[in-house]
Chains A and B, each alone.
Chain A
């Protein structure tokens, strides 16, 4: 029996290089996850059975990534009471704007929590925050993660004050 709390699905394996960032975040925060390919248009029955069984299987959040017409997150949201996070995946044309609009512009009553185009990392963090809304120890891990990001920016800021900007740029290119 899988004890996955986060279900990560994507419309195509071509989305995996982007969507793997969700899995990395779950690993970083120690959240069990499952990963699968579910296409709204090519495997519609699988989509329905996946979404309808999600709650019963113990999932708390579903992250769905898709490009193009990107119907996957919205269709999944319509078949489950769980929060669904949508990741618009940038395709070859329209720069992901097509996917962003079809994921975010859901009708009233069936929300999809949309993140930035290719924003898979934030989708993972958002899933952690949603689970963390009722889990103090997970919230502490997220707080520590944010603090680490702050320290990284502080370190860069200090370096920029110390070295000439041209040298900073040269080192960035390495």
Chain B
């Protein structure tokens, strides 16, 4: 079965990363979600990624804060695309996690998204865009979602807009 694997470094990341799994639920995309830390449970992280890949993981999403090495470590263990979500978990408001997620050396890319909740949601969208290259039904759903998002902006504007006739 094809699915997306979500790995987060700490339970405290779940509050934000729930937006990622909720997005998959809304689109009916299969996912797995676990907590595994690069620094506190390195063996578990390595074993998990190998198992998940065997089971059919197509894309991995890694969320971590501070010295956020999780996404980069996953990237070094697989050639499936890795999406990194920097968490705001310290006095540096996520900029530490952003830089340690995005500044990967050549050869091991991490597809980095925004810090925090917007990034958690976008990690799901990016994963679905990748899956949609090979899944027409999902591609259609994503297009419909874009249209409904554009309508929502119009509706939001209607509530407050002032137009000179």
Q: A residues within 8 Å of B by Cβ? A: 60, 81-83, 85, 100, 104-117, 119, 121-123, 125-126, 129-134, 139, 142-143, 145-146, 149
Contact = CB atoms under 8 A, between A and B. Distances in A.
A142 B107 CA distance: 9
Contacts of B110: 115
Contact of A109 (B83, B139, B149): B149
B112 interface: yes
A110 B122 contact: yes
Given A111-B123, A126-B109, A119 B104 contact: yes
Interface of B: 19, 58-59, 79-81, 83, 98, 102-104, 106-115, 117-118, 121-123, 125-126, 129-134, 139, 142-143, 145-146, 149
Given A121-B107, A126-B81, A146-B107, 16 more contacts: A81-B139, A81-B146, A82-B129, A83-B130, A108-B125, A109-B146, A110-B122, A113-B126, A115-B102, A115-B111, A119-B106, A122-B106, A126-B109, A129-B80, A129-B109, A131-B133
Given A108-B118, A126-B111, A129-B79, A81 B106 contact: no
Nearest to A125: B109
Contacts of B83: 113
Given A81-B132, A105-B118, A114 B102 contact: yes
A115 B104 contact: yes
Given A81-B142, A129-B109, A111 B79 contact: no
A124 to B, nearest CB: 9
A89 to B, nearest CB: 14
A146 B149 CA distance: 39
Contacts of B117: 108
A129 B117 CA distance: 25
Contact of B126 (A111, A134, A142, A145): A111
A89 B102 CA distance: 13
The 6 closest A-B pairs by CB, nearest first: A113-B111, A111-B122, A122-B109, A108-B121, A126-B109, A134-B134
Contacts of A131: 133
Contacts of A143: 79
A142 B113 contact: no
A144 B149 CA distance: 41
